[in-house]
Amino acid sequence: MYPSHVMKTASPRLLIADDQVDVLEALRLLLKGEGYQIESATSPSGILAALEARDFDAVLMDLNYTRDTTSGEEGLEVVSRIRAMDATLPVIVMTAWGSIELAVEAMRRGARDFVQKPWENPRLLNIVRTQLELGRSLRKEQRLEAENKLLRADGSPTFVAQAAAMQPILQLMARIGPSDANVLITGEHGTGKEVVARTLHLLSNRASKPMVTVNVGGLAEGVFESEMFGHVKGAFTDAKTDRVGRFELADGGTLFLDEIANVPLNQQAKLLRVLETGELERVGSSKTHRVDVRILSATNANLNEEVAAGRFRGDLLFRLNTIEIHLPPLRDRREDIPGLAMHFLNLHAKRYRKHLTGFDNAAMQALREHPWPGNVRELDHTIERAVLMSQKTTVGAADLGLVSTSNAFIQSARLEDMSMEDVESFLIRKALMRYGNNVSQAANALGLSRSALYRRMQRYGI
């Protein structure tokens, strides 16, 4: 593992294939001198076995392998097989018996270029460089087509943070954002951990690449590996086609693992392996894929306590928290409430096409005094409701619909006066409080699956 605990991009890996050892050695010396990683094969079956075993950035292969053959048919068949396996992998063919007809047929079957032996070193190197770049472009295009828009950072996040408690955090983000360091973001639910992650991504050299967000705590155990690492067709009953996992979608960019503390213990080892090696296998395949990903993760739990309790691996925590950023709850940064409220007001007023200029004094006072157990997320939901409810140009206190969730309120309120949503929201908050915000334990106490509880928490802004 590298000191910065981030997976590094290795130099391009080339597969060279020829039945003559001296030819392979000459190619190896030439290409290794250019900084490429080289693996070799001496037969069509060796080529296919190597491609099944790991990823390559390009293939440079002879067309003839059986002694005294000059037709190139063996190599042409391999070219067709490679094209079927991975249409984005550049294949450069070479033969001592070159002809226009053979070159055309090789290109028709999927080869990208053609070199005649004996080769000229400058031309061969130029072809390899060109095809590597083309291969990268094709893979990027394929990945972009596979990406769900919901998985990508959609524009620049607005980071409202004027409170004194937030200044050290802003300074730390400015220092580590441009790096490739893995970052663990901690804080209560709704404090803005994903906004911090998006900001770090946009500050980095990976900003032009995707940021893929996945709530790993909300993934059922049965789909965890398929979602994270992908699967191949036929790997299980519902695997009708190959699927790219979240790690591969984030290749070259950033992977944000939200609710990292809730990853089941038996899945943590699989996650750790990818973080350590930068390599993974899709479910149902033994082929190794390399990924270059910066890891940002977030949790509301105390991971050191989780490690001590045996619920979280210490070696995984070590990989995740090269740097830790802890976000304070909204009640500890009340100076930011007016700015955040106006930001959300402008956002939702534009969305719902309403003309609103601000808050009246009573509304702003209510916002300042509310305890905000759901933090910034709860404030966002509150302002969205106010925008929908307001019939004036300014939001009034009644539009906010702020209701205390304290025990005193519940005890004084009659059950028949409460909506189903109010009751459910209260019970969820109480269960989370009882179990120290441990989502798994709260879900178990409420008779819900972890993913079902997450959906309700999101609905109520908890």
Confidence of residue 330 (pLDDT cuts 50, 70, 90): very high
Nearest to 27 by CA among 111, 100, 92, 103: 92
The whole-chain average pLDDT of the chain stands at: 84
pLDDT greater than 80 at residue 68: no
Confidence of residue 409 (pLDDT cuts 50, 70, 90): very low
The stretch 302-327 carries a mean pLDDT of: 93
The stretch 83-98 carries a mean pLDDT of: 81
Pull the structure tokens for residue 48: 């296919």
Domains of the chain, residue spans: 13-145, 151-328, 332-459
pLDDT greater than 50 at residue 286: yes
Whole-number pLDDT of residue 250: 92
Question: Does domain 332-459 match CATH 1.10.150.20?
Answer: no
Instruction: Give the range among 152-161, 163-172, 313-322 with minimum mean pLDDT.
Output: 152-161
Instruction: Give the range among 25-29, 105-109, 382-386 with minimum mean pLDDT.
Output: 105-109
Contact 169, 192 (CB under 8 A): no
The stretch 349-359 carries a mean pLDDT of: 93
Whole-number pLDDT of residue 413: 45
Question: Does domain 151-328 match CATH 3.40.50.300?
Answer: yes
The stretch 88-111 carries a mean pLDDT of: 82
| CB crowding 343-368: b at 16 or more within 10 Å, else e | bbbeebbeeeeeebeebeeebbebbe
Q: Do domains 151-328 and 332-459 have the same CATH topology?
A: no
Q: How far does CA 428 lie from the centroid of its chain?
A: 29
Q: What percent of the chain has pLDDT over 70?
A: 87
Whole-number pLDDT of residue 266: 86
The stretch 50-61 carries a mean pLDDT of: 89
Pull the structure tokens for residue 177: 């954002």
Instruction: Give the range among 143-157, 254-268, 363-377, 437-451 with minimum mean pLDDT.
Output: 143-157
Confidence of residue 407 (pLDDT cuts 50, 70, 90): very low
Q: What percent of the chain has pLDDT over 90?
A: 46
How far is residue 204's CA from residue 208's CA, in Å, rounded to a whole number?
9
Confidence of residue 147 (pLDDT cuts 50, 70, 90): very low
208-228 residue pLDDT tens: 898 999 998 778 777 888 889
227-282 residue pLDDT tens: 898 877 766 667 677 778 899 999 999 999 999 998 888 889 989 999 999 898 88
pLDDT greater than 80 at residue 156: no
Helix (H, G, I), strand (E, B) or coil at 29: helix
Query: Top-level CATH class of 13-145?
Result: alpha beta
pLDDT greater than 50 at residue 140: yes
Whole-number pLDDT of residue 145: 57
Nearest to 151 by CA among 227, 205, 86: 227
pLDDT greater than 80 at residue 24: yes
Whole-number pLDDT of residue 88: 84
Adjacent-strand bridge partners of 213: 256
Q: Among 68-77, 95-104, 188-197, 397-406, name the most confident range.
A: 188-197
Nearest to 299 by CA among 264, 259, 257, 255: 259
Whole-number pLDDT of residue 418: 59
Whole-number pLDDT of residue 372: 92
Of 264 and 435, the one with more pLDDT:
264
Q: How far does CA 421 lie from the centroid of its chain?
A: 33
Q: How many CB atoms lie within 10 A of CB 60?
A: 26
How far is residue 106's CA from residue 64's CA, in Å, rounded to a whole number?
12
Whole-number pLDDT of residue 59: 96
Instruction: Give the range among 9-23, 44-58, 64-78, 179-193 with minimum mean pLDDT.
Output: 64-78
Confidence of residue 71 (pLDDT cuts 50, 70, 90): confident
The stretch 62-80 carries a mean pLDDT of: 81
Contact 281, 54 (CB under 8 A): no
Helix (H, G, I), strand (E, B) or coil at 257: strand
pLDDT greater than 70 at residue 6: no
The stretch 16-30 carries a mean pLDDT of: 93
pLDDT greater than 80 at residue 288: yes
How far is residue 177's CA from residue 160's CA, in Å, rounded to a whole number?
17
Whole-number pLDDT of residue 459: 74
| 3-class SS shares of the chain: helix, strand, coil, % to 5 | 50, 15, 35
pLDDT greater than 80 at residue 367: yes
Of 9 and 204, the one with more pLDDT:
204
pLDDT greater than 60 at residue 119: yes
Contact 220, 267 (CB under 8 A): no
The stretch 4-20 carries a mean pLDDT of: 74
Confidence of residue 406 (pLDDT cuts 50, 70, 90): very low
Residue 332 burial class via C-beta count within 10 angstroms: exposed 0-12, middle 13-18, buried 19 and up:
middle
